[in-house]
Every structure is written in structure tokens, then in C-alpha cells.
């Protein structure tokens, strides 16, 4: 028998067989969120690439804890892809769509809200609806808490799952300031009397942009326009008081407003170094956690402005071309579990507020949220009752562009 074989013929046969097999097999079906047992079964063994801002050590610490729990409980690996700017992840998904990559994207979960959510929905870049099918979503009691299904005035329609709550909270060194400023005009007066002791993060940083919106809501007399899509005529009229205010404020800021801190956490660092004595964060417990971890002096106290401060819910979403949608949904559901929400809210972990309706939980789950006496640097329990709603996402983009045009060259 001849042993002389044509290797090209063998390779061709293998290729044809593989091609026929590929055509004979159905494409992998998108997991059905309503069939949760199948979703969990499919998720096991998957690696979920979670794109999330990586500029805060406490947030990173919590995501590391989540990754450990996901592997232990579900056999799902979670890789934290640390972002400097969420917009870069949005651009990546858009680029993949434009390149025709509809099934093998590089992002499975993205921490998102506001203008980035609006941009992804407009370009049809998100998988869903899925959120309201997650078993733990019911614990948010969305009927009584509509903020968990609304993002910067836009209905989420199941295309993102709530994760946590944020609200602007100011903090000050009570050893240097007896009575901190309670509104924007008072903040200007305080800055004039305490030059160099306050600043806000450089735009387009999210915390800095939120400061602009806070100031605009308080200073404008046309705030109803903020909750509609921005128009050029409205923008110029509505924002005129803001630019006048910032023109007056900037000369009295840190480094005379010639440069700005990079981020919200950088404000805390400057305060720790003694360069600032008044700061703010979008996370109400940030100052208390920093005091507990010896990053800020014990004399630091937290407060909110008397007219209320801007707040929102932040979410996680799944890109339309995620190859690991089952694992992504299991992660989103775990993030809504009482265990994960209580751990996130703990000052020892992160201190991010829960989106669950805690009073509706059973007694065992409610007990997870009992964290003992309030820390002296923490806000009183009822301090966040006056939450100002976020403007339409188009306003944030327009404010960022206008700020950079006026103040960005330095």
C-alpha cells in the first residue's frame, strides 16, 4: 500500500469539512434574561471584561472584592479594565461596530451613566433590555424609586442596571473654618477671604463637570431649560450667570485658577497636603473614609449646600457585541444583591450608597447594612434628602466644550 499522501488534499478536506460544519451549526443564541437558570449555567467559565473608571483606590478595592466573589460563587472571572475616561470605551464599541465586529467585542460590561449612556443608546451600542429581568432588580423597588430607571432625564428602558448612588458632598477642615459656605454666592465670598484654599477638577473630569452643573442650577433663573435638550439660544442665555461667576471665582482658586486638579481624588490629596481647606466629592462618604484611613485630619467634616446638591444613580451596561453576555448579566445581578450592595456601602470598603430599597428587604438582609455609629466626619443620616436632579445629558457636553473654550488653554 502506498503511503504517499498529498498534504494539500488533506488540508483542503479539513477546511471543507470545517466550513460545512460551521454552516450546519446555528449561531450562538443571545442568552435570554428571562431564563435565569440558563444564563447562570452559560456564564460559568466565562471571563467578563469590565471597563470601569480606575482612578480611585476604594472603587478598585471594591471591584477586586467583586471579582473574588464572582469566581467563588459563579465560576466567572472578572477582569477590571481601568479607564481614565469612560468616553474612550464608548468610542471603542462604536469603532468595533463601524468595523463590522458585531459578535466579538472587547468590552462585556461598562460602568456608565449620563452623556455616555445617551451616546450609546443613540448609536444602538447596548444589549437589552435586560436589567428588569435580573432577579435582584426587584429589590430596588423601582416603582417607588424611579431614579433607578432614569439616567439624566432619559428612561433607561432596561438597557442599564443600577449600581450605586452619588451626590455632591462638600467637606472642610473645621480646625480652619468654623462655618463653611452654604451656597454658591457664599462660596465665592469664602474663596475671596481664603485665596488658594478651594478648587475643582479640570474639565472634562466628571466631578469637575458636575460642579459646573451644580453652580449652573443654583445661579440661573432659567433652570427649566436644563431638563430639555440644549439649544444654542438657550445655552447662551441660561449659562451667562455661570461664566460670570467663574470669571470672578477663578482668581481666588488654588494656583489662582491657572491650573486645576486632575480629579476628585486629587482634591482630597491636596487637602491632605494642606494646600486646600475646602473640597467636595461626588461620593458622600469620601471624606469620612479618608479620615478613617488617615488620609485626612480628624477635624474634617462633611456637609451639603442648604439648597440641596446634584445627585444621580450610576449604572452598568452591556455592549451589544459583548461575547460574554451571560457572564455580564450574572455580574450585573450580583452587584444588586444585598451582600454586594452592603459591602459597597461599608465605609471599610468603598462607602458608595445602595440603590436597594433597604426597608423592603427581609430582616437578615437589612442587618447587613447596619454599620454601627456614624463616623464624626460623615453626613447626618437625613442630609441627602434634598437631591437635585441631573440636567439632560446634552447640557453636560455643551458645558464641557464651552468651559474648555473659555478656560482650557493654560
User: Which residues fall within 8 angstroms of residue 198, CB to CB, at 6 or more apart?
Assistant: 187, 190, 191, 252, 253, 254, 276, 277, 278, 279
What integer pLDDT is reported at residue 410 of this predicted model?
52
pLDDT > 70: what percent of the chain? 92
For the chain, what's the residue count? 410
Q: How far apart are CA 369 and CA 343, in angstroms?
A: 8
- 335 to each of 90, 111, 316, 328, 360, how far by Cα in Å? 21, 12, 9, 11, 18
Q: How far apart are CA 385 and CA 369, in angstroms?
A: 19
Mean pLDDT of 229-255: 95
Q: How far apart are CA 328 and CA 317, in angstroms?
A: 9
Quick check: 380 pLDDT over 90? no
Q: How far apart are CA 288 and CA 362, in angstroms?
A: 28
The answer to whether 351 touches 132, Cβ cutoff 8 Å, is no
Mean pLDDT of 376-401: 91
The answer to whether 364 touches 289, Cβ cutoff 8 Å, is no
Tens digits of residue pLDDT in 298-310? 999 999 999 999 9
Is omega for the bond preceding 341 within 30 degrees of 0, making it cis?
A: no
Mean pLDDT of 275-304: 93
What does the DSSP assignment read for 274-333? TS-SEEEESSTTHHHHHHHTTSS-TTEEEE--TT-EEEEEEEEE-BTT-S-HHHHHHHHH
What integer pLDDT is reported at residue 241 of this predicted model?
97
What integer pLDDT is reported at residue 408 of this predicted model?
86
What does the DSSP assignment read for 180-234? ---SHHHHHHHHHHSTTS---PPTTSHHHHHHHHHHHHHH-S-GGGGGS---HHH
Q: Are strands 109-112 and 150-151 parallel, antiparallel or unpaired?
A: unpaired
Quick check: 26 pLDDT over 50? no
Q: Which residue has the cell 480629579?
A: 263
Tens digits of residue pLDDT in 103-131? 999 999 999 999 999 999 999 999 999 99
> Strands, E, within 56-101: which ranges?
77-83
3-state secondary structure of 384: coil
Chain-centroid distance of CA 81 in Å reads 14
What integer pLDDT is reported at residue 233 of this predicted model?
78
Question: Of all helices (H) and strands (E), which one includes residue 363?
Answer: helix 363-368
- Give the chain's mean pLDDT: 91
What does the DSSP assignment read for 3-64? ----HHHHHHHHHHHHHHHHHHSPPPPPP-TT-HHHHHHHHTT-EEEEEEE---HHHHHHHH
What integer pLDDT is reported at residue 128 of this predicted model?
96
Question: Of all helices (H) and strands (E), which one includes residue 85?
Answer: none
Mean pLDDT of 48-75: 96
Quick check: 58 pLDDT over 70? yes
- 30 to each of 26, 104, 128, 325, 328, how far by Cα in Å? 12, 13, 10, 8, 12
The pTM assigned to this predicted structure is: 0.86
Q: What structural domains does the chain harbor?
A: 36-165+312-368 (3.40.190.10), 169-303+387-407 (3.40.190.10)
Mean pLDDT of 131-143: 97
Quick check: 166 pLDDT over 50? yes
Quick check: 172 pLDDT over 50? yes
Which range, of 12-26, 113-127, 156-170, 383-397, averages the lowest pLDDT?
Answer: 12-26
Tens digits of residue pLDDT in 1-25? 333 433 333 433 333 333 333 333 3
What integer pLDDT is reported at residue 123 of this predicted model?
97
Q: How far apart are CA 315 and CA 154, in angstroms?
A: 13
What integer pLDDT is reported at residue 160 of this predicted model?
98
Phi, psi dihedrals of residue 302, rounded to the nearest 5°: -110, 150
Q: How far apart are CA 303 and CA 383, in angstroms?
A: 8
Q: How far apart are CA 407 and CA 318, in angstroms?
A: 35
Mean pLDDT of 272-290: 93
The answer to whether 340 touches 66, Cβ cutoff 8 Å, is yes
Quick check: 238 pLDDT over 90? yes
Quick check: 29 pLDDT over 50? yes
**Among 166, 205, 188, CA closest to 314:** 166
- Give the 3-state DSSP-derived string for 103-159, with helices as H, strands as E and coil as C: CCCCCCEEEECCHHHHHHHHCCCECCCCHHHCHHHHHHCCCCCHHHHEECCEECCCC
Amino acid at each position: 500500500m502506498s503511503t504517499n499522501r498529498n498534504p494539500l488534499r488533506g488540508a483542503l478536506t479539513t477546511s471543507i469539512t470545517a466550513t460545512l460544519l460551521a454552516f450546519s451549526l446555528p449561531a450562538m443564541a443571545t442568552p435570554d434574561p428571562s431564563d435565569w437558570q440558563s444564563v447562570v449555567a452559560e456564564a460559568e467559565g466565562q471571563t467578563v471584561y469590565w471597563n470601569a473608571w480606575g482612578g480611585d483606590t476604594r472603587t478598585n478595592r471594591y471591584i477586586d472584592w467583586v471579582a473574588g466573589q464572582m469566581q467563588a460563587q459563579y465560576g466567572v472571572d472578572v477582569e477590571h479594565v481601568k479607564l481614565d475616561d469612560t468616553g474612550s470605551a464608548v468610542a471603542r464599541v462604536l469603532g468595533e461596530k463601524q468595523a463590522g465586529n458585531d459578535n466579538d467585542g472587547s468590552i462585556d460590561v461598562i460602568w456608565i451613566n449620563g452623556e455616555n449612556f445617551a451616546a450609546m443608546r443613540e448609536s444602538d451600542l447596548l444589549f437589552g433590555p435586560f436589567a428588569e429581568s435580573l432577579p435582584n432588580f426587584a429589590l430596588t423597588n423601582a416603582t417607588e424609586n424611579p431614579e433607578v430607571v432614569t439616567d439624566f432625564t432619559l428612561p433607561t428602558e432596561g438597557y442599564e442596571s443600577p449600581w450605586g448612588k452619588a451626590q455632591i458632598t462638600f467637606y472642610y477642615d473645621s480646625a480652619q473654618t468654623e462655618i463653611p459656605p452654604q451656597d454658591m454666592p457664599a462660596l465665592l465670598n469664602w474663596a475671596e477671604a481664603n485665596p488658594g484654599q478651594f478648587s475643582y477638577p479640570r474639565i472634562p473630569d466628571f466631578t469637575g463637570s458636575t460642579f459646573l452643573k451644580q453652580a449652573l442650577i443654583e445661579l440661573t433663573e432659567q433652570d427649566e431649560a436644563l431638563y430639555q435638550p440644549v439649544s444654542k439660544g438657550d445655552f447662551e442665555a441660561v449659562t451667562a450667570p455661570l461664566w460670570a461667576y467663574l470669571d470672578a471665582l477663578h482668581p481666588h482658586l488654588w494656583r489662582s485658577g491657572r491650573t486645576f486638579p486632575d480629579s476628585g481624588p486629587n482634591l482630597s490629596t491636596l487637602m491632605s497636603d494642606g494646600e486646600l481647606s475646602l473640597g467636595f466629592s461626588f461620593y458622600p462618604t469620601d471624606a469620612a473614609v479618608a479620615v478613617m484611613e488617615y488620609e485626612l485630619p480628624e477635624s474634617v467634616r462633611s456637609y451639603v449646600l442648604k439648597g440641596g446638591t446634584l445627585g444621580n444613580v450610576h449604572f452598568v451596561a452591556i455592549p451589544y457585541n459583548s461575547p460574554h453576555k451571560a457572564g455580564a448579566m450574572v455580574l450585573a445581578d450580583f452587584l444588586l444583591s444585598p451582600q454586594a450592595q452592603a459591602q459597597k456601602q461599608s465605609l471599610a470598603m468603598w462607602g458608595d450608597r445602595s440603590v436597594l430599597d433597604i426597608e423592603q428587604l427581609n430582616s437578615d438582609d437589612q442587618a447587613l447594612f447596619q454599620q454601627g455609629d456614624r463616623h464624626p466626619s460623615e453626613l447626618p443620616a437625613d442630609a441627602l434628602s434634598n437631591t437635585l436632579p441631573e440636567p439632560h445629558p446634552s447640557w453636560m457636553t455643551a458645558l464641557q466644550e464651552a468651559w474648555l473654550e473659555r478656560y482650557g488653554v493654560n
